[in-house]
A and B are shown apart, each in its own frame.
Chain A
Amino acid sequence: MQHTFASKDGPLEVTLARNGEAYVLEGHELILHNRGRLHVRLRDGRQCLAHAAKVGDVWWIHLDGRTYRWERIEPGSSNADDEGGLVAPMPGKVLEVLVSEGDTVEAGTPLMVLEAMKMEHRIVASDDGTVTSIHFAAGDQVAQGAVLLELE
């Protein structure tokens, strides 16, 4: 019962232990109740109900007022990093491109203005670098996740 999940510090290996009916991790225990309800007993003795739903590869977990997302990495799949690509956070329209290819920018420099849901959103440089390519022009519609421009 080993699973790998993505985390901000890289892949996270999780090995579940068993204690009778319960699954155990780091001293926390979980028992499945009927209709998909998960009963959790925390290491400190607190008990709560967890709700779980999977969307794509991501498990959404609600626990004691908090919602967590854990993306499961299928064994054997490679998780390509987005190397300097700046992606559209949501579908929308490009209002303005504020830089040109070849421009040197500092982290935080506004690069593009998107409009979505009637509000303007600025796309800013995540790091210092040079704009190597721009994939959209003002007026273009972009899908969520589309690579807008690339920095190196």
Chain B
Amino acid sequence: MGIKVLVANRGEIACRILRACNEAGHPTVAVCAPNDIGTLFTEMADEVVPLEGETIGETYLNQDQIIQAALSTGATAIHPGFGFLSERADFARAVKSAGLVWIGPSAEAIEKMGDKMTARQTMRAAGVPVIPGEEVEEEDEVAALEALREASTRVGYPLLLKASSGGGGKGMRAVHDPAGFDQAATGARREAVAAFGDGRIYIERLLSGSKHIEIQVLADTHGRTIHLGERECSVQRRHQKVFEEAPGPTMEPGLREAMGQAAVAAAEAVDYVGAGTVEFLLAPSGEFFFLEMNTRIQVEHPVTELVTGVDIVREQLRIANGEPMSCGPLMIRGHAIEVRLYAEDAANGFLPSIGPLSMFRPPEGPGIRLDTGVREGDEVTPNYDPMLAKLIVWAPSRDEALQKMRRALDEFVVLGTTTNIEFLRDLCDAGPVVDGSTTTTTIDDLWPNGWNPPAAPMLEEASLLAAASAETLGLHRRTTAGSSEGSTGPASPFTTIQRRFP
């Protein structure tokens, strides 16, 4: 007797969860918006329920429709993945009151951590250090701006404005002097209202030169809360992570234990159940400060899986099923690195790009893992987040992991849509990445005027030769660009062998 799981998500993370369910023997249901019909994740589920509506609000954020889909298919549990409804306490509550299992922490825990201002207060009370700053509860636009302006003089510059309901860099602004404050605060509020329907903003001192270190925690319903060590995710562009690794390149066992214990204390303070991540800033002084807790599975969870040997999604399912988690004592082995492949133009301010995936050939070989929700022939549209895939490598040492990542990125062929692959490849050669001294401002420090691909005149000439030759040869007429059915797979004996069996 196990759960039947509805995955209330799409793309890469839906694939990840559906695969884990398939392995564990749990029947699965996918839900999908009209513009997602036929995409990879819908093919991995036992059943697919089409959602009605056009906008995200009408589909993946439509709680009633999703709960109805679960009830009508006999699903007994809902896994929210990340983003969308994953950190919505009202949804967690609605799922439970519909008699379904919520694969995640309690609505109360989500509320306490999800509202970033409440989380800071809860952590202070639990003795977990938080970043110096001030919360402003004012809802009215004019009054809030006034209160924020006053608070800014007490917090001091440079500072960060953050949305209380925020995440993913939305509604966040760095302000370096008072002159830019009003414009930044207005922009942050507007983005926060648009993305979360909540314009409340708080201020934190901007701790430059810090590392972003986060601790993975797991808690089951049998009274056990553990941590799985750290991930370093300092390398960010526009406050979104692009390069993540485990273990942290500068981490010492003593500091790991101290941060791990703080993370476990944070989780226990809200009676946490399931998988979660406690994010910290590690200042150059060696002090660490609570940033926020993500009460869900996280994009970069694979690096922890590769170095600890724990299948975090599988543990989530186990915990939701009421079983104790299966993890033994923490063991960290080797080094793992993840990069996020985005459909974006890194040479043009990381602007999202769209187009067909006319060719999509991921690298292969030992120590390489690809988590993706797309395949060759798919179309990248502006409807959803532009992340195409996560490329994760594991090797016995950090140096070897970097070497493997360079090789893997060189092999990765994506044609038809601009991606950040060359940027990620260049990043693997950057000084702070090579020596592990990355901080949250590394990308801006390395390329203050924006990134451009290093010049390679010989390759550029040869690419022109390839384009002209391909045109002359009529390659575009030989194979259907943008189709996965072409002659790319191994030849089938049923179509090539003209043989009849008696």
- Per the bound structure, the CA–CA distance linking A119 and B488 in Å amounts to 37
- Nearest B residue to A29 via CB reads B465
Measured between beta carbons, the chain A residues less than 8 angstroms from B348 are 89
Q: Mark out the residues of chain B between 338 and 383 whose CB falls within 8 Å of any chain A CB in the assembled complex.
A: 348, 351-356, 358-359, 361, 382
Kindly state whether residue B410 has any CB partner on chain A within 8 Å.
Answer: yes
Min CB distance, A16 to chain B, in Å? 5
- CB contact between B466 and one of A35, A38, A89 (< 8 Å): that residue: A38
- CB contact between B413 and one of A29, A62, A118 (< 8 Å): that residue: A62
* Chain A, interface SS category: strand
- Nearest A residue to B353 via CB reads A90
Kindly state whether residue B425 has any CB partner on chain A within 8 Å.
Answer: yes
Measured between beta carbons, the chain A residues less than 8 angstroms from B413 are 51, 62
- Nearest A residue to B183 via CB reads A110
- Per the bound structure, the CA–CA distance linking A52 and B169 in Å amounts to 36
Measured between beta carbons, the chain B residues less than 8 angstroms from A118 are 170, 191, 194-195
- Per the bound structure, the CA–CA distance linking A115 and B453 in Å amounts to 27
A51 & B359 in contact (Cβ 8 Å cutoff): yes
Kindly state whether residue B71 has any CB partner on chain A within 8 Å.
Answer: no
B358 & A55 in contact (Cβ 8 Å cutoff): yes
- Per the bound structure, the CA–CA distance linking A118 and B163 in Å amounts to 14
Kindly state whether residue B101 has any CB partner on chain A within 8 Å.
Answer: no
Min CB distance, B414 to chain A, in Å? 7
B463 & A26 in contact (Cβ 8 Å cutoff): no
- Nearest B residue to A66 via CB reads B459
- CB contact between A23 and one of B419, B468, B481 (< 8 Å): that residue: B468
Measured between beta carbons, the chain B residues less than 8 angstroms from A144 are 354, 382
B382 & A23 in contact (Cβ 8 Å cutoff): no
A14 & B464 in contact (Cβ 8 Å cutoff): yes
Measured between beta carbons, the chain A residues less than 8 angstroms from B472 are 1, 3, 16, 23
- CB contact between B465 and one of A23, A36, A117 (< 8 Å): that residue: A23
Min CB distance, A17 to chain B, in Å? 10
Kindly state whether residue B422 has any CB partner on chain A within 8 Å.
Answer: yes
- Nearest B residue to A41 via CB reads B462
Measured between beta carbons, the chain A residues less than 8 angstroms from B411 are 65
Kindly state whether residue B19 has any CB partner on chain A within 8 Å.
Answer: no
Min CB distance, B402 to chain A, in Å? 15
- The 8 A CB mask of B417-435 against A (1 = contact, 0 = none) is 0110110010000000000
What are 29 residue pairs bridging A and B, where the CB atoms are less than 8 Å apart in the complex? A1-B472, A3-B467, A12-B464, A14-B464, A14-B465, A16-B472, A28-B465, A30-B465, A32-B473, A36-B478, A40-B462, A42-B459, A51-B413, A54-B358, A54-B470, A54-B481, A55-B416, A59-B467, A60-B415, A60-B416, A62-B359, A62-B414, A67-B418, A67-B422, A68-B459, A68-B463, A68-B467, A89-B348, A116-B382
Beyond A52-B475, A65-B410, 14 additional contacts (C-beta under 8 Å) are: A23-B465, A23-B469, A30-B465, A35-B479, A35-B487, A52-B466, A54-B471, A62-B415, A64-B410, A70-B464, A72-B467, A90-B351, A90-B353, A116-B352
